[in-house]
Structure 1
Amino acid sequence: MSDPNSASQISFAQAFFCSAFAACFAEFCTLPLDTAKVRLQLQKKVGIDEDPSLPKYKGLLGTMKTIAREEGITALWKGVVPGMHRQCVYGGLRIGLYDPVKTFLVGSAFVGEVPLYHMILAALLTGALAITIANPTDLVKVRLQAEGQLPPGVPKHYSGAMDAYSTIVRQEGLGALWTGLGPNVARNAIINAAELASYDQVKMTILKIPGFTDSAFTHLLAGLGAGLFAVFIGSPVDVVKSRMMGDSTYKSTFDCFLKTSFNEGFLAFYKGFLPNFGRVGAWNVIMFLTLEQAKRFFSG
């Protein structure tokens, strides 16, 4: 990822395949953490007159245990099908296009370390483009994950991913598949820049330290750094995105932001920060480790 000429070493088709495969593998491994994160973000603050034993979900592991106990362990992978759809499209495009766009911005004749602002701009562009195309898959994944909060005995809205797509289009219109597009574009463009640009920057910094080589351990450290930076930067828009997709009562992105801030305070935008980092950190480590190995396989 940090080699400015890496885009020329493999074709875009190969880069897209490597990126989609790495993203899907990371998604499958960390989806239980994402399910717990979404439940914690959708959970509203307990009111004065409500049962003090609430909220229902407490902490990453506690939320996962509650979901597994009440809904079965497979509920932790609820939304895995649209999650795979999303990563094939979104992951393949945002990561696969990153090196070519970065090379385009600096010029094919450029030699040396790519400036950080070029990395950030390239990642912002590919993240925004990719999620605009993949927003329906993100919406369906969040809707399926949120269904576990329905009271016992209340029928589910969707029987699966494909039923969710068709039901949403039939009942809410085709445009509903792009619900939450504004915060989703903001979130994913920002997080993509935080992940890819910071991964490149952290990796280049580590490789300047005596004794460090372009190894799996370096990729692991750079992936953790990328995950931490991405969560810190992207948590507020991530919370707004999850709430808009999982709760149709919000009129707009601004309405969701105002209501959340007014009713629950600014810290609500960092609700689920630790499970979010647990998920995003693990996701980045797995994805970048897999991606680096896949690209090495094709580049020889």
Structure 2
Amino acid sequence: MALTLYQEASCGLIAGAAEAYFSFPFVSACLPRVDPTTLSVVLRAKYRNIFDALYSMSANKKISALWTNAGPYVKTRMGTNVGMLTSYNPSLCYLRDSCGLSETRAQLGASAVSAFFGAACSVPVKNVLAQGKSGSSLDCALKILKSRGPLAFFSGFSRQFALVGPPIMILWFAYENVRKL
């Protein structure tokens, strides 16, 4: 039984939120620290391993310190997952059934479409969050729309596609091959 678009979008939101929330401490431990007052990159401490980094980040604080500023990352990952998950199955069926592509070519094409929509759904979120230092997300979105027009939401798309495209394509190709087993 195939999922509806609404169900796939809901799954994408939930999966993106869960993945981002639980992976954020590891992601933030691997990224260089940024000083919010000067926006200069501070040299990373010499951690022995990822667990040492996590311990150091939460030392003298509560464990919840590991999730400080997780909101923007979670929202962006939710956007990526919604675009990625809602576009893959319809694309795969269309390319295989309507276009007559072989299974491998249909999977490759559908994974590229999925990567495109994953980037397309996350870039506006990133742009609104980058503008979002002053006000709510809706206010920031309206400011972007009024000052630069609707295409401004997609500035940085090529960079985001280059960032998320290959991992998404590899994920879907691996998923289909594991599913065959």
Q: Bin the TM-score by the shorter chain.
A: 0.7 to 0.9
1:236 matched residue in structure 2: 124
| Cα separation, 2, equivalents of 1:178 and 1:283 | 24
8 Å Cα contact 1:235-1:273 kept in structure 2: yes
Unaligned runs of 5+ in 2: none
| Cα separation, 2, equivalents of 1:185 and 1:155 | 25
Identity among equivalent pairs (%): 23
Deviation at 1:295, TM superposition (A): 1.8
Deviation at 1:122, TM superposition (A): 2.0
Q: How does 1:285-296 map to 2 (within 5 A)?
A: 285-296=169-180
Aligned AA (1:277):
F
Q: CA distance change for structure 1 residues 232 and 133 in 2, over 3 Å: closer, same or farther?
A: same
The answer to whether 1:206 aligns with 2:95 is yes
| Cα separation, 1, equivalents of 2:19 and 2:71 | 13
Question: What is the SS of the residue equivalent to 1:156?
Answer: coil
1:164 matched residue in structure 2: 53
Q: CA distance change for structure 1 residues 240 and 178 in 2, over 3 Å: closer, same or farther?
A: farther
The answer to whether 1:186 aligns with 2:75 is yes
1:217 matched residue in structure 2: 105
CA displacement 1:132-189 (0-9 Å, x = unmatched): 2222122223337x79x74xxx753243423321221015542221123322332222
| Cα separation, 2, equivalents of 1:208 and 1:140 | 45
Deviation at 1:205, TM superposition (A): 1.6
Q: CA distance change for structure 1 residues 123 and 165 in 2, over 3 Å: closer, same or farther?
A: same
The answer to whether 1:281 aligns with 2:169 is no
The answer to whether 1:137 aligns with 2:21 is no
Aligned AA (1:133):
F
RMSD, aligned CA: 3.4
Q: CA distance change for structure 1 residues 240 and 191 in 2, over 3 Å: closer, same or farther?
A: same
| Cα separation, 2, equivalents of 1:133 and 1:273 | 26
TM-score, normalised on structure 1? Answer: 0.47
1:175 matched residue in structure 2: 64
Q: CA distance change for structure 1 residues 295 and 138 in 2, over 3 Å: closer, same or farther?
A: same
| Cα separation, 1, equivalents of 2:13 and 2:106 | 24
8 Å Cα contact 1:198-1:226 kept in structure 2: yes
Aligned AA (1:218):
A
8 Å Cα contact 2:32-2:44 kept in structure 1: no
Structure showing greater relative contact order (alpha-carbon pairs closer than 8 Å, 6 or more residues apart): 1
Aligned AA (2:108):
L
Q: CA distance change for structure 1 residues 156 and 123 in 2, over 3 Å: closer, same or farther?
A: closer
| Cα separation, 1, equivalents of 2:27 and 2:43 | 22
| Cα separation, 2, equivalents of 1:253 and 1:135 | 24
8 Å Cα contact 1:135-1:178 kept in structure 2: yes
| Cα separation, 1, equivalents of 2:68 and 2:128 | 12
The answer to whether 1:197 aligns with 2:86 is yes
Aligned AA (1:211):
G
